[in-house]
Amino acid sequence: MPQLNRADVKVPAGVPAEARETYIDNYLKATQGTGRLMLFACDQKIEHLNDDFYDGGDQIDLADAVPEHLFEIGDQGVIGVWAGQRGLVAAYAADYPDINYLIKVNSKTHLIKKDQDDPYSPQLHSFEAILELINNGVNVVGIGYTIYLGSEYESQMMAEAGELIAQAHAAGIIVVLWVYPRGKAVPNEKDPHLLAGAAGTALCLGADFVKVNPPAAAADATPAELLKQASNASGRCGLVCAGGSTVDAESFLTQLWEQIHIGGARGNATGRNIHQRSLDEAVRLTKAISCLTLADGSVEESLAIFNGDKDFSL
Amino acid sequence: MPQLNRADVKVPAGVPAEARETYIDNYLKATQGTGRLMLFACDQKIEHLNDDFYDGGDQIDLADAVPEHLFEIGDQGVIGVWAGQRGLVAAYAADYPDINYLIKVNSKTHLIKKDQDDPYSPQLHSFEAILELINNGVNVVGIGYTIYLGSEYESQMMAEAGELIAQAHAAGIIVVLWVYPRGKAVPNEKDPHLLAGAAGTALCLGADFVKVNPPAAAADATPAELLKQASNASGRCGLVCAGGSTVDAESFLTQLWEQIHIGGARGNATGRNIHQRSLDEAVRLTKAISCLTLADGSVEESLAIFNGDKDFSL
Amino acid sequence: MPQLNRADVKVPAGVPAEARETYIDNYLKATQGTGRLMLFACDQKIEHLNDDFYDGGDQIDLADAVPEHLFEIGDQGVIGVWAGQRGLVAAYAADYPDINYLIKVNSKTHLIKKDQDDPYSPQLHSFEAILELINNGVNVVGIGYTIYLGSEYESQMMAEAGELIAQAHAAGIIVVLWVYPRGKAVPNEKDPHLLAGAAGTALCLGADFVKVNPPAAAADATPAELLKQASNASGRCGLVCAGGSTVDAESFLTQLWEQIHIGGARGNATGRNIHQRSLDEAVRLTKAISCLTLADGSVEESLAIFNGDKDFSL
Amino acid sequence: MPQLNRADVKVPAGVPAEARETYIDNYLKATQGTGRLMLFACDQKIEHLNDDFYDGGDQIDLADAVPEHLFEIGDQGVIGVWAGQRGLVAAYAADYPDINYLIKVNSKTHLIKKDQDDPYSPQLHSFEAILELINNGVNVVGIGYTIYLGSEYESQMMAEAGELIAQAHAAGIIVVLWVYPRGKAVPNEKDPHLLAGAAGTALCLGADFVKVNPPAAAADATPAELLKQASNASGRCGLVCAGGSTVDAESFLTQLWEQIHIGGARGNATGRNIHQRSLDEAVRLTKAISCLTLADGSVEESLAIFNGDKDFSL
Amino acid sequence: MPQLNRADVKVPAGVPAEARETYIDNYLKATQGTGRLMLFACDQKIEHLNDDFYDGGDQIDLADAVPEHLFEIGDQGVIGVWAGQRGLVAAYAADYPDINYLIKVNSKTHLIKKDQDDPYSPQLHSFEAILELINNGVNVVGIGYTIYLGSEYESQMMAEAGELIAQAHAAGIIVVLWVYPRGKAVPNEKDPHLLAGAAGTALCLGADFVKVNPPAAAADATPAELLKQASNASGRCGLVCAGGSTVDAESFLTQLWEQIHIGGARGNATGRNIHQRSLDEAVRLTKAISCLTLADGSVEESLAIFNGDKDFSL
């Protein structure tokens, strides 16, 4: 299991001396002391409205229709950070105080399609509104922000992200950027070279971690192999990646393993694949992912955890 | 009659310790100690200009031509909160000091139609302008804001709402969001799945209550049944719903009852159905609605109150 | 002659205790102790550029070519408030210290026509710039702002007006809104029902007075009769109205009288009809209007004053 | 030679008591104690890029290729104020400390032509950045700002100008507005009636001086005669005017004389006609203009100065 | 070798007395005491995404795939300033503390092409975020900003640059502007007369150095000869220039030499030509460039350094 000493945490120069220990605390909390990130994505209630949470029970467990499901998973499962909007966190955090929260600062719905307008996801509140949560005792360790690179609104999102990162680091809070190339100017969102550019952009903006979509497979290379360019380009900014829309657990865990051990990823970000299941199954999947990500578990070991043949804790 | 103890009020984490008692006070005032919201909507003088207030007496009682009518109803009737713009409240509040006011922070006219431009309703003043009213002794318990989801201006409204919620909770003030999917990207504003997304959005932004329009009836489900998806999705954010344009009191009250007892609504928001009547009739209707909403009254009991066969007070 | 006691002034709740006496002072100054407003509009040098001030002497007296003419009229005549832009007031106020000034905060030229773009009139400076004048000893009693309702820029003007009203009342300064429906979405700017909506909007924004254009005559009603809907809708916000483009003094004064005594207006706003005359004639016209407006004079009495057969002072 | 006593300076009401003497100092410095303004325009390096400074020596003296030329002229010649952007002034002011500087706050290039977009000239920095120069010892007596009246961006420029004027006067600094009607809505930029409107606009915004282009000649009136309407309309705001593109010194000086003595101008603003010459010739031209403007010299006397037959100093 | 005494540094008037020594320190650090600037451009990870850093090793050394390569070059080579975005600097500066950093404040990707929209490069964070780095001990000597002159967004970039310059100088920090004419209104980005306008614009905004692209060769003049107009126009603002896309070292160094000794450049700005090589080769190239730029070395001497036949240090 990878272990990161306090002294080994690379503290960005935007963190002042008085926030240095806080930053290290937050970094170690978020990565469970490993330098790797297991991010449980819970921001889809705005991003996808209710599409990810209710289909009458066909593919989505009915437990997911109720928002508290997300917190129960975070509380009973094993995760690094629980990422969602400030208002959602604020409504439930008092009852789930031990979760490591990452406030997703911007969000948009998917109602406006690409042919109507390029995507812009607005900052939903000031940074001070996040500090308020922390001052009120919420266990916020990080913030997140999505940039749509190549959108006609790229400049607004770059500027909001850049300033938020400065503010967060000044307070010792870590930052994860979601960077997705998207818009009329982007014909291929999953081009590995473009994804490497996205990863490098996050580094230059000062993010601690960057989430990108996995590259599409090429004739002569697997997605994990192609991801290597991006994980190189992101340098000290840890690259995390989603497993895509796979639902079969074994394939999914295999992908995550390859992203880390072949693609150079430093973790993963998973949402629907976790929360669309019953509480019990979802909890087991968080443990399987965390075993693989945080404890360098094998696919087999993780699968055994998911199947309930084995337990996992940190 | 539902009763909510102070200890049972779920205080959002955005409320600091020093504002906690204020928040509980405001929450209990707004819901008359029940956790349910009866909202008397009085913001139409901008939203609909004079259309809702004067038609020469054909459908609208001539009493409604004069703005003070709205305050007289709020004063003599039984309501939870009286929702209107800051300027309107400021002009009359000194003479109607006991009403629980909810300041509707944004508003637009209906002059520009959807085919000319997507809707944007601007924040009319800073949050400080609301605190000023409170400091001057006005009984403001909450604020309201309308978001048109799917509008090309969605991002502006999401950002204004998000920040206002942070500011309001920091001061112990409750927030109601009106969330209406509307714009070129929204073909069906009353789709129950979309309304559930709207409700979840309000939760993620941190609203205490969300007002949505009732779903359209489907082949195999009533509006109230279809509303259940939205009331689930809104979680700890209480969902309130309007009875639509029905004017017949019995149908109207039946709808409200079904919204609560079948659809999972935690109250209702009613405007025109109340104020377009004579003062006496309007007052009786507020009591009927409040009996049904706040005291778990039956449709029959509420109708008797509306018909003047019975009185109601809290 | 209508008389308003200090105790009868309806102080909006946005006025804090420490500014209450100032507000009452300003309200009584502006209305000359009557609750009625005689507003001398002097903002046309931007709004209409030089069109209202110089035509070679054909219809416009040559005295009007020089800006000081406006101040001489305000100084020697009898008016309620003198309304013009901050810069104009600042340039001459030291020499005309007794005039009650109302700072018209926004202005635009008429160079861009409706078919090129919808109207937007920008706020020309911060509210602090007005307080600066007051601190420097200028007798500013109020501010004014124009909203073009139904313009594609309605939202900007509504927001600027809403915030300015909060700021003005916090300092004990009264506010007059000019509300004109205008833009591609407005086919009939003088529809009485729409004007009532405009009046109600001003009330909801918190204005003390609203200036609207007089309604067009209908088949079965005079403009003054049609104005009644608007004066009802504006409630505690006093409605004032211009006499239109009539130049003949008797018709003009008759219109003003009817607006007040039939239409429910609480005053009038007059510009060109006053200042396009020689100083002597202009001064007499202000006295005629003020007699009619502030002292409940008859048309005959006012006409006699205009004709120099009688003097008038407060 | 016109002489203005300190007591005769009309101090705008936006100037507070503590800045009153500073304002009078600046006004007298800028006008060399005369109330008339000789403005040496040095802002073309952005406005016209290098077009005014280098043509290989055909019409423009090669001395003009180097920016310091502008300061040498200002230093050795006789001028009222030297008008240029903050950065340019900041780079050389330490070596030319005696020049009266006027900071031109906004500027744009001419690369985008009228048929691509209407003109907008942005404020280049905050007002505080100007105060910083003054605090650092630079002899800044005024600021300047260009408004393109009738541009689709008129509102932005009006708002920036209005606020800057309030800030400048609060600090005792004088303000010159350049007001040019320009844009798709303006078919005739040199219409005398429109120029009078431009002049009146500057007065209403609070400028101390306004620069307009000279009117085009009409069938029955010279440009200087036509300028009278504008100089009337600008009232206490002194109107200054350029001599146009004339290069022949006698015609040029004749025009300036007529603008003042027939057109009512209170000075002039000249750039290219001065700096495109060799240092010696340029210096003599500043003296000729200043003799005419500030000392009421005749055209003949001024021409003699320009020709080096006579010297001039204040 | 050019030497600049502290007393000879031309300190802009925007630098206050208390920051004067800091400014001189930074100016001398950035120019290695020479007044000439050797700028190592490391901002392409956003500007060009990963295009400049990875092509599978065809033209770009594989060492360049990893961001730390840039810092190793800066650390082991001889440069004036290392220019990159704040986030990138913040991530590595603790390990490379001796580099002179210049924070590139704005950046955009190249995804949106000119025919879709004119270029705008947004300010990525407040100036305070840069001061934070300095307060935290990072050796930041300057900031940089790119303006696309002639873009429809020119005004935004001019305004951001103007204010940043005021803020930077107030803190004693030097400023480099990248000024590139670009957009629908610019048919020829490399026109020498236009480049001179760009250089003059930077001077007027207050930059200490301006980077322009080299002019295209003309029938009768070399790029270096044509550059003279621009270096004249930029006056006290030092002009630096890139060598273009040449990769052959001798041609490249010859170009740089001619830019300085014929074109009047005061340095150069080089990125890809340096970092696309192996560390050893890149380090040698920085020394060759610095010898030529900072020590007035000949092309031959510099080439010998590049070829490893000779070493160079300051």
- Print pLDDT tens along chain C (314 aa): 678 999 999 999 999 999 999 999 999 999 999 999 999 999 999 999 999 999 999 999 999 999 999 999 999 999 999 999 999 999 999 999 999 999 999 999 999 999 999 999 999 999 999 999 999 999 999 999 999 999 999 999 999 999 999 999 999 999 999 999 999 999 999 999 999 999 999 999 999 999 999 999 898 999 999 999 999 999 999 999 986 666 689 999 999 999 999 999 999 999 999 999 999 999 999 999 999 999 999 999 999 999 999 999 99
- Do E and D touch, 3+ Cβ pairs within 8 Å? The answer is yes
- Residue where the block lists tokens 């935007």: A14
Catalytic residue among B27, B101, B145, B180: B180
| Count of A-E CB contacts under 8 Å | 156
End-to-end C-alpha distance for chain E, whole angstroms: 10
Say yes or no for a CB contact (<8 Å) between A203 and E54: no
Above 80 in pLDDT, residue E246? Answer: no
CA dihedral (C292, C296, C297, C302) in degrees, to 10, reads 0
Of A45, A113, A138, the CB nearest to B204: A45
Q: What is the pLDDT of residue A99?
A: 98
Instruction: Tell me the average pLDDT across A234-250.
Output: 86
Region for B47 from its dihedrals, namely left if φ exceeds 0, alpha if ψ lies in -120 to 50, beta otherwise: alpha
Q: What is the pTM of this model?
A: 0.97
Q: What is the pLDDT of residue C246?
A: 60
Per residue in A129-164, pLDDT (tens digit) is: 999 999 999 999 999 999 999 999 999 999 999 999
Say yes or no for a CB contact (<8 Å) between E112 and A185: yes
Half-sphere exposure of residue C273: CA atoms within 13 angstroms, side-chain side: 26
Average pLDDT across chain D, whole number: 96
Per residue in E27-67, pLDDT (tens digit) is: 999 999 999 999 999 999 999 999 999 999 999 999 999 99
User: Looking at CA atoms only, how far is residue E120 from chain A in angstroms?
Assistant: 7
Burial (Cβ within 10 Å: 0-12, 13-18, ≥19) of residue E55: middle
Residue B242's pLDDT band, with cuts at 50, 70 and 90, is confident
Per residue in A67-87, pLDDT (tens digit) is: 999 999 999 999 999 999 999
Of C14, C200, C232, the CB nearest to B136: C14
User: Looking at CA atoms only, how far is residue C261 from chain B in angstroms?
Assistant: 18
- Cβ neighbors of E27 (< 8 A, separation 6 or more) are E9, E174, E208
Per residue in D225-283, pLDDT (tens digit) is: 999 999 999 999 999 998 666 568 999 999 999 999 999 999 999 999 999 999 999 99
Residue B243's pLDDT band, with cuts at 50, 70 and 90, is low
CA distances from B11 to A88, B134, B243, D33, D76 (A): 13, 20, 29, 68, 73
Q: What is the pLDDT of residue C1?
A: 62
Angle between helices C68-76 and C279-294 (to 10 degrees): 50
- Residue where the block lists tokens 């950035």: E30
Q: What is the pLDDT of residue C224?
A: 95
Minimal CA–CA distance to C276: which of C46, C39, C41? Answer: C41
Query: Which chain B residues are closer than 8 Å to A68 by Cβ?
Result: 235-236
Per residue in D55-74, pLDDT (tens digit) is: 999 999 999 999 999 999 99
User: Looking at CA atoms only, how far is residue C111 from chain B in angstroms?
Assistant: 23
Residue B245's pLDDT band, with cuts at 50, 70 and 90, is low
Average pLDDT across chain E, whole number: 96
Q: Which of residues 109-148 of B touch C (CB under 8 A)?
A: 109, 111-113, 116-117, 120-126, 128-129, 132-133, 135-138
Per residue in A169-213, pLDDT (tens digit) is: 999 999 999 999 999 999 999 999 999 999 999 999 999 999 999
Say yes or no for a CB contact (<8 Å) between A232 and E112: no
Say yes or no for a CB contact (<8 Å) between C66 and D235: yes
- Residue where the block lists tokens 């700021």: C167
E71 interfacial to chain A (CB closer than 8 Å): no
Above 80 in pLDDT, residue B163? Answer: yes
Say yes or no for a CB contact (<8 Å) between A204 and E43: yes
Of A111, A122, A138, the CB nearest to B149: A111
Catalytic residue among B104, B211, B228, B287: B211
Above 70 in pLDDT, residue E242? Answer: yes
Q: What is the pLDDT of residue A64?
A: 98
Instruction: Find chains touching chain C: ≥3 CB pairs under 8 Å.
Output: B, D
- Residue where the block lists tokens 């409706």: C114
Which residue would you say has higher pLDDT here, E48 or A219? E48
- Residue where the block lists tokens 């959108």: A151
Catalytic residue among D45, D104, D211, D287: D211
State both tokens at D66. Answer: 């180097």
Above 70 in pLDDT, residue A1? Answer: no
Burial (Cβ within 10 Å: 0-12, 13-18, ≥19) of residue B22: middle
Per residue in B35-77, pLDDT (tens digit) is: 999 999 999 999 999 999 999 999 999 999 999 999 999 999 9
Instruction: Tell me the average pLDDT across E171-200.
Output: 97
Residue B235's pLDDT band, with cuts at 50, 70 and 90, is very high
Instruction: Find chains touching chain E: ≥3 CB pairs under 8 Å.
Output: A, D
Above 80 in pLDDT, residue B289? Answer: yes
Please indicate whether residue B180 is annotated as part of the active site.
Answer: yes
- The count of other CB atoms within 10 Å of the CB of residue B97 is 12
CA-based radius of gyration for chain A: 18
Q: What is the pLDDT of residue B101?
A: 98
Above 70 in pLDDT, residue B237? Answer: yes
Q: What is the pLDDT of residue B151?
A: 98
Per residue in E248-268, pLDDT (tens digit) is: 899 999 999 999 999 999 999
User: Looking at CA atoms only, how far is residue C198 from chain B in angstroms?
Assistant: 7
Q: What is the pLDDT of residue D245?
A: 64
- The count of other CB atoms within 10 Å of the CB of residue B296 is 15
Query: Which chain C residues are closer than 8 Å to B136 by Cβ?
Result: 13-17
- Residue where the block lists tokens 């109340």: B274
Q: What is the pLDDT of residue C3?
A: 86
Q: What share of chain D is helix, strand, coil (3-state, %, to 5)?
A: 45, 15, 40
Say yes or no for a CB contact (<8 Å) between C46 and D200: yes
Q: Please say whether the dihedral angle defined by the alpha carbons of residues A104, A110, A112 and A113, taken in this order, is positive or negative.
A: positive
User: Looking at CA atoms only, how far is residue C139 from chain B in angstroms?
Assistant: 25
State both tokens at A79. Answer: 């995760």
Nearest CA in chain E to D45: E200
Residue E2's pLDDT band, with cuts at 50, 70 and 90, is confident
Please indicate whether residue B184 is annotated as part of the active site.
Answer: no
The answer to whether C303 and C273 are in contact (CB under 8 A) is no
Q: What is the pLDDT of residue D242?
A: 82
Query: Which chain D residues are closer than 8 Å to E205 by Cβ?
Result: 46, 85, 87, 124
The answer to whether E43 and E83 are in contact (CB under 8 A) is yes
Q: Which of residues 231-250 of B touch A (CB under 8 A)?
A: 232-237
- Residue where the block lists tokens 């890029």: D49
- Do D and C touch, 3+ Cβ pairs within 8 Å? The answer is yes
Minimal CA–CA distance to C6: which of D204, C18, C22? Answer: C22
For chain A, what percent of residues have pLDDT higher than 70?
Answer: 98
Q: What is the pLDDT of residue D235?
A: 98
